[in-house]
A = this chain, B = another copy of it.
Amino acid sequence: MSILDILLGKPLATSDERGEQVGVSAGIPIFGLDALSSAAYGPEAALTLLIPLGLAGVAYIVPISASIIVLLTIVYFSYRQTIAAYPGGGGSYTVASENLGTFPGLLAAAALMLDYILTAAVGISAGVGALVSAVPTLEPHTLSLCLGILALITLVNLRGVREAGIVFILPTYLFVGTLLLTIAVGLSKTVLAGGHPAPVVPPPAPLPAATAVVGLWLLLQVFSNGCTAMTGVEAVSNGVRAFREPTVNTAQRALTVIIGLLIVLLAGIAYLVRAYGIAAPDPGQPGYQSVLSMLVAAVAGRGWFYYVTIGSVLVILSLSANTAFADFPRLCRAVAQNNFLPHAFGFRGRRLVYTEGILVLAALAAVLLMLFGGVTDRLIPLYAIGAFLAFTLSQAGMVAHWKRVGGSGAGHSMFVNGLGAVATGITLLVVLVAKFTQGAWVSALLIVAMLSAMLWVRRHYGRVAEETQSSAPLAVVKPHAPIVIVPIQDWDRIAQNALEFALTLSAEVTAVHVAMEDEDRHLQREWGRMVEAPVTRAGIVPPKLVVLPSPYRLVALPICDYVLKVEAENPGRQIAVIVPELVERHWYHYPLHNKRAEILKWFILLKGNERIVLINVPWYIKA
A601 contacts across to B, CB distance below 8 A: 616
Given that A492-B470, A616-B615 are known contacts, is A14 also in contact with B517, CB under 8 Å in the complex?
yes
Question: A569 near B: Cβ within 8 Å?
Answer: no
Chain B proximity mask over A479-495: 1 for CB below 8 Å, otherwise 0 = 11110000000011110
Say yes or no: B589 contacts A531, CB within 8 Å.
Answer: no
Say yes or no: A594 contacts B344, CB within 8 Å.
Answer: yes
Question: A100 near B: Cβ within 8 Å?
Answer: no
Say yes or no: B461 contacts A552, CB within 8 Å.
Answer: no
Which of A349-407 touch B at CB < 8 Å?
A: 350
Which of A587-623 touch B at CB < 8 Å?
A: 589, 591-594, 601, 605-606, 608-610, 612-623
Chain B min CB distance to A397 (Å): 27
Q: Which chain B residue shows the least CB distance to A492?
A: B468
Say yes or no: A493 contacts B467, CB within 8 Å.
Answer: yes
Q: Give the CA-CA distance A623 to B613 in the complex, in Å.
A: 21
Q: Give the CA-CA distance A594 to B615 in the complex, in Å.
A: 21
- Which of A58-66, A163-171, A272-280, A497-505 is near enough to bind chain B? A497-505
Q: Give the CA-CA distance A516 to B529 in the complex, in Å.
A: 54
Q: Which chain B residue shows the least CB distance to A614?
A: B616
Q: Give the CA-CA distance A335 to B425 in the complex, in Å.
A: 74
Q: Which chain B residue shows the least CB distance to A621?
A: B464
The listed residue (B464, B469, B605, B622) touching A616 by CB distance below 8 A is B605
Given that A516-B14, A613-B617, A621-B464 are known contacts, is A475 also in contact with B500, CB under 8 Å in the complex?
yes
A574 contacts across to B, CB distance below 8 A: 501, 504
Question: A342 near B: Cβ within 8 Å?
Answer: yes
A620 contacts across to B, CB distance below 8 A: 608-610
Question: A253 near B: Cβ within 8 Å?
Answer: no
Given that A344-B591, A592-B342, A592-B457 are known contacts, is A474 also in contact with B618, CB under 8 Å in the complex?
no
Question: A473 near B: Cβ within 8 Å?
Answer: yes
Question: A496 near B: Cβ within 8 Å?
Answer: yes
The listed residue (B473, B553, B591, B613) touching A615 by CB distance below 8 A is B613
Question: A141 near B: Cβ within 8 Å?
Answer: no
A350 contacts across to B, CB distance below 8 A: 552
Say yes or no: B348 contacts A553, CB within 8 Å.
Answer: yes
Question: A195 near B: Cβ within 8 Å?
Answer: no
Given that A467-B493, A534-B476 are known contacts, is A14 also in contact with B504, CB under 8 Å in the complex?
no
Say yes or no: A479 contacts B504, CB within 8 Å.
Answer: yes
New contact pairs (5) apart from A467-B622, A482-B501, A501-B574, CB-CB < 8 Å: A15-B517, A461-B592, A463-B621, A473-B529, A614-B615
Question: Can you give 9 A-B contacts (C-beta < 8 A)?
Answer: A342-B593, A344-B591, A467-B623, A468-B619, A473-B534, A476-B534, A481-B504, A501-B574, A614-B618
Question: A300 near B: Cβ within 8 Å?
Answer: no
Question: A535 near B: Cβ within 8 Å?
Answer: yes
Given that A470-B496, A535-B476, A594-B344 are known contacts, is A615 also in contact with B615, CB under 8 Å in the complex?
yes
Say yes or no: B618 contacts A552, CB within 8 Å.
Answer: no
Say yes or no: B473 contacts A533, CB within 8 Å.
Answer: yes
Q: Which chain B residue shows the least CB distance to A341?
A: B592
Say yes or no: A605 contacts B618, CB within 8 Å.
Answer: yes
Say yes or no: A591 contacts B14, CB within 8 Å.
Answer: no
Say yes or no: B589 contacts A474, CB within 8 Å.
Answer: no
Given that A538-B476, A612-B618, A616-B613 are known contacts, is A551 also in contact with B592, CB under 8 Å in the complex?
no
Question: A196 near B: Cβ within 8 Å?
Answer: no
Say yes or no: B494 contacts A474, CB within 8 Å.
Answer: no
Q: Which chain B residue shows the least CB distance to A616?
A: B614
A583 contacts across to B, CB distance below 8 A: 605-606
Q: Which chain B residue shows the least CB distance to A551?
A: B13
A623 contacts across to B, CB distance below 8 A: 460, 463-464, 466-467
Question: A446 near B: Cβ within 8 Å?
Answer: no
Say yes or no: B616 contacts A531, CB within 8 Å.
Answer: no
Question: A138 near B: Cβ within 8 Å?
Answer: no
Q: Give the CA-CA distance A574 to B617 in the complex, in Å.
A: 11
Q: Give the CA-CA distance A394 to B591 in the complex, in Å.
A: 30
Chain B min CB distance to A491 (Å): 7
Say yes or no: B610 contacts A497, CB within 8 Å.
Answer: yes
Say yes or no: A500 contacts B529, CB within 8 Å.
Answer: no
The listed residue (B457, B481, B500, B605) touching A474 by CB distance below 8 A is B500
Chain B min CB distance to A198 (Å): 56
A589 contacts across to B, CB distance below 8 A: 460
The listed residue (B13, B540, B582, B613) touching A476 by CB distance below 8 A is B540
A608 contacts across to B, CB distance below 8 A: 618, 620
A610 contacts across to B, CB distance below 8 A: 497, 617-620
Q: Give the CA-CA distance A493 to B468 in the complex, in Å.
A: 5
Q: Give the CA-CA distance A464 to B589 in the complex, in Å.
A: 11
Q: Which chain B residue shows the least CB distance to A576?
A: B615
Chain B proximity mask over A142-166: 1 for CB below 8 Å, otherwise 0 = 0000000000000000000000000
Chain B min CB distance to A361 (Å): 15
